[in-house]
Amino acid sequence: MKDEKKLVKKARKGQAEAFGLLYNRHLPAIYRFIFLKVNHQQDAEDLTHQVFLQAWQGIKSYRLKGFPFSSWLYRIASNKVVDYYRTKKTYIELEYVSEENLAESDPLPQKKIDTDLDLALIKKALKKLEPEQQNILIMKFVNDLSNQEIAQAIGKSLGAIRVIQHRALKKLKNLLYGQNK
């Protein structure tokens, strides 16, 4: 974290090399977040490029407030995804888990089929959540962010994130198990 703060300070002074190191560090997670939201490789690459371009252009206005630099990037990424869908006027599609993320080793054929079916059900259920709920669950369970980091990225209080996350998980459970309570 201290290393990241030093890089951010150097980048704020206009050092492109420091920003390049931040870029390399955060690119995979930001791309993954965007790809899971737009489900299109070229669009995800373009949006990720836009996120880092905006971050570079706005780095001088970024303020270290005890939150990770990634929180700021996620906020920019979330806004880019919203803009993307505003201009496209389409529904959010989630390609939630790629083949690389399935299992550590090559599973038995039946187990792989079962896993694929489970993932398809989860993907279908996730599509029924509100976009904000989707964002929070992806940040929490795919990108492994803390609730505090999510709160900073989304721009809501920690309590609000916990409530949204709880409701999203409850709704997801109800959708998956057919419990309409």
Contacts of 138 (CB under 8 A, 6+ apart): 33, 36, 37, 94, 96
Residue entry with tokens 């780095």: 59
Structure token pair of residue 28? 């995979």
Strands (E), the chain: none
Q: What is the pLDDT of residue 115?
A: 54
pLDDT, tens digit only, all 181 positions of the chain:
578 889 999 999 999 999 999 999 999 999 999 998 888 899 999 999 999 999 999 998 887 676 788 989 999 999 998 888 887 754 444 444 444 444 444 444 555 454 555 667 777 888 888 988 988 988 888 788 889 888 888 888 999 999 999 999 999 888 888 755 4
Q: What is the pLDDT of residue 60?
A: 86
Among residues 37, 43, 39, which one has the least CA distance to residue 78? 37
Give the chain's domains with CATH numbers.
1-95 (1.10.1740.10), 106-181 (1.10.10.10)
